[in-house]
C-alpha cells in the first residue's frame, strides 16, 4: 500500500517515522523545501502540556500522548541516527504577576495531581531561591511543571527524517505539487495521482501535512479548509554565563513570553503573535519583537547585557473558524466500508498553529491508527 505525505515539517516527519514502522507500507514524502523549514524552523520547541489549561477531551489527550511519547522517542532517535537532540528535561516555570488569578493554578494543580502529574506552586521566596535570575517586583509567585519539556525542533525533525529513511521511506525535497487527481479503477486500483515537478506519484493514502500549503492542495480536491498565517518572531541572545543556577535551567515563561535556555549562555526569546491585517503577506513588526525582548529583560534583568546573535520569524498555520489542529479524515471521504472507492483516502494533519512540535507525536500516532484500522478492516 502506497502512502504519500505532503509536507516535511516536524509533523510530516513524525508521521513518516511512525508509519515507517508499519509493515506493508510504501511511503514517500514530498516537500518544496528541505526539512524543518517554514513554521518548524521558527518554533521554540516549548512543550507546554501539563502546565497548559487543557484538562480534558482531545486537546488534553493529544498533549498527554505526545509528552509520554517524547520520553521514549528522543533516546530512540539518538540511538538510531547518532544525532544529538537538545531536549531540556528541567521543566517549565510559569511566572505569576500581580492581578493574575492564582485560584486557577490551584485548581489545575489538583487536577494534575489526580491525573498523576506533579505541578508545584512556588511562593516568592522559593522562586528567589531556586531561580534568582527572576527579579521583578510584579512577580508574586510561580508554577513549576517538572514533567514538561523543551526540544530543538530542527534537530528533532532531521532525526525523524534520518530514522524514517533508514526504514525505507523515500524523501523528495525541492518538489512542487502541480495537481491532484483521484481515480476509481476498481477494488484495488483506486487512489490518487499527484502531479509534481518530479513527475507523477500514485498513492492509496494521501496525508496532507503541509501547514499553510494545505489549503491550496485541498482546493484541488474541491474541499475548503481555511488555514491562515500568523507570524511569530523570536531571537537568540548570548550571555557570558548562564542565568541563575547553571545546573537548573528550566524554560521560564510569563504572559506568553518565553525564555528558553539552549546551552552555553545562549537563550531563545519569543515569540510574537502577529495576525494579518489583510490578504497580503504579513510583514514582521520590529517593535513587537523588541517589546518581547524588553518583557524578557523585565523578568530577568541580566538579559539586558546579552548580545543578540540571531533573529528569525515564521508563519504558523492557524485554522479559521475551527479548533487547531485539523487531524483526521477529509470531510467527504468515507471511512472503511463506505460507498466511496477504497482508494479515496485523504488524511489531514495540519493547522497546528503554535503547537506543531508539541503535538507532532500524537498526530503521528493518530494517522497511524487510521491507516492500520483500514488495513485491518480490509483483511
Integer Cα distance of 39 and 12 in angstroms: 12
- Are residues 216 and 278 both part of a single domain? no
- Are residues 155 and 302 both part of a single domain? no
Which of the listed residues 272, 303, 319 is the one where a domain comes to its end? 319
Please count the structural domains in the chain: 2
- Are residues 262 and 286 both part of a single domain? yes
Output the domain CATH number for residue 163. 3.50.50.60
Tens-digit pLDDT string for the chain (379 aa)? 999 999 999 999 999 999 999 999 999 999 999 999 999 999 999 999 999 999 999 999 999 999 999 999 999 999 999 999 999 999 999 999 999 999 999 999 999 999 999 999 999 999 999 999 999 999 999 999 999 999 999 999 999 999 999 999 999 999 999 999 887 765 555 788 899 999 999 999 999 999 999 999 999 887 888 999 999 999 999 999 999 999 999 999 999 999 999 999 999 999 999 998 876 678 899 999 999 999 999 999 999 999 999 999 999 999 999 999 999 998 665 444 443 444 458 999 999 999 999 999 999 999 999 999 988 766 5
- Are residues 173 and 219 both part of a single domain? yes
- Are residues 207 and 168 both part of a single domain? yes
- Are residues 172 and 312 both part of a single domain? no
Which of the listed residues 319, 345, 362 is the one where a domain comes to its end? 319
Calculate Rg over the CA atoms of the chain. Answer: 22
CA distances from 118 to 97, 109, 245 (A): 22, 8, 22
pLDDT tens-place string over residues 61-118: 999 999 999 999 999 999 999 999 999 999 999 999 999 999 999 999 999 999 999 9
- Are residues 192 and 210 both part of a single domain? yes
Helix/strand/coil for 366: helix
Which of the listed residues 278, 301, 319 is the one where a domain comes to its end? 319
Torsion angle, CA of 101/106/112/113, rounded to 10 degrees? 170
- Are residues 311 and 329 both part of a single domain? no
- Are residues 11 and 25 both part of a single domain? yes
CA distances from 317 to 172, 181, 252, 362 (A): 22, 25, 25, 18
Residues 6+ apart with CB under 8 A from 26: 1, 2, 3
CA angle 234, 59, 343 (to 5 degrees): 100
Output the domain CATH number for residue 284. 3.30.9.10
Its domain, for residue 273, covers 92-146+227-319
- Are residues 183 and 304 both part of a single domain? no
Of 340, 339, 349, 336, nearest in space to 379 by CA? 336
- Are residues 167 and 134 both part of a single domain? no
Of 2, 8, 358, 3, nearest in space to 210 by CA? 8
Q: What residue has cell string 520547541?
A: 45
For residues 53 and 104, the answer to whether their CB atoms sit within 8 Å is: yes
- Are residues 239 and 124 both part of a single domain? yes
Amino acid at each position: 500500500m502506497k502512502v504519500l505525505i505532503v509536507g516535511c515539517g516536524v509533523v510530516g516527519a513524525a508521521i513518516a517515522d511512525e508509519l515507517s514502522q508499519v509493515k506493508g507500507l510504501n511511503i514517500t514524502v514530498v516537500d518544496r523545501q528541505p526539512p524543518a523549514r517554514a513554521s518548524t524552523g521558527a518554533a521554540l520547541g516549548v512543550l507546554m502540556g501539563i502546565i497548559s489549561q487543557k484538562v480534558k477531551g482531545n486537546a488534553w489527550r493529544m498533549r498527554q500522548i505526545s509528552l509520554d511519547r517524547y520520553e521514549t522517542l528522543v533516546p530512540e532517535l539518538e540511538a538510531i541516527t547518532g544525532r544529538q537532540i537538545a531536549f531540556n528535561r528541567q521543566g517549565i516555570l510559569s511566572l505569576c504577576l500581580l492581578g493574575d488569578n492564582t485560584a486557577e493554578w490551584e485548581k489545575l494543580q489538583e487536577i494534575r495531581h489526580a491525573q498523576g502529574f506533579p505541578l508545584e506552586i512556588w511562593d516568592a521566596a522559593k522562586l528567589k531561591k531556586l531561580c534568582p535570575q527572576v527579579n521583578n517586583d510584579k512577580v508574586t509567585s510561580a508554577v513549576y511543571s517538572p514533567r514538561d519539556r523543551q526540544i530543538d525542533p530542527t534537530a528533532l525533525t532531521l532525526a525523524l527524517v534520518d530514522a524514517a529513511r533508514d526504514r525505507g521511506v523515500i524523501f523528495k525535497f525541492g518538489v512542487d505539487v502541480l495537481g491532484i487527481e483521484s481515480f476509481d479503477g476498481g477494488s484495488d486500483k483506486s487512489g490518487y495521482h499527484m502531479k509534481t515537478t518530479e513527475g507523477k506519484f500514485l498513492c492509496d493514502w494521501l496525508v496532507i501535512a503541509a501547514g499553510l500549503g494545505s489549503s491550496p492542495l485541498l482546493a484541488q480536491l474541491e474541499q475548503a479548509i481555511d488555514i491562515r498565517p500568523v507570524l511569530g518572531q523570536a531571537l537568540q541572545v548570548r550571555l557570558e554565563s548562564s542565568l541563575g543556577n547553571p545546573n537548573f535551567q528550566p524554560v521560564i515563561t510569563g504572559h506568553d513570553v518565553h525564555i528558553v535556555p539552549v546551552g552555553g549562555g545562549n537563550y531563545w526569546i519569543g515569540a510574537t503573535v502577529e495576525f494579518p491585517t489583510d490578504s497580503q503577506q504579513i510583514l514582521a513588526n520590529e517593535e513587537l519583537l523588541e517589546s518581547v525582548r524588553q518583557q524578557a529583560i523585565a523578568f530577568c534583568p541580566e538579559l539586558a547585557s546579552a548580545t543578540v546573535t540571531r533573529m528569525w520569524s515564521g508563519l504558523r498555520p492557524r485554522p479559521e473558524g475551527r479548533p487547531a489542529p485539523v487531524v483526521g479524515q477529509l470531510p467527504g471521504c468515507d471511512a472503511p466500508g463506505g460507498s466511496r472507492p477504497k482508494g479515496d483516502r485523504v488524511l489531514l494533519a495540519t493547522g497546528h498553529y503554535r503547537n506543531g512540535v508539541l503535538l507532532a507525536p500524537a498526530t503521528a500516532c493518530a494517522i497511524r491508527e487510521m491507516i492500520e484500522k483500514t488495513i485491518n478492516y480490509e483483511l
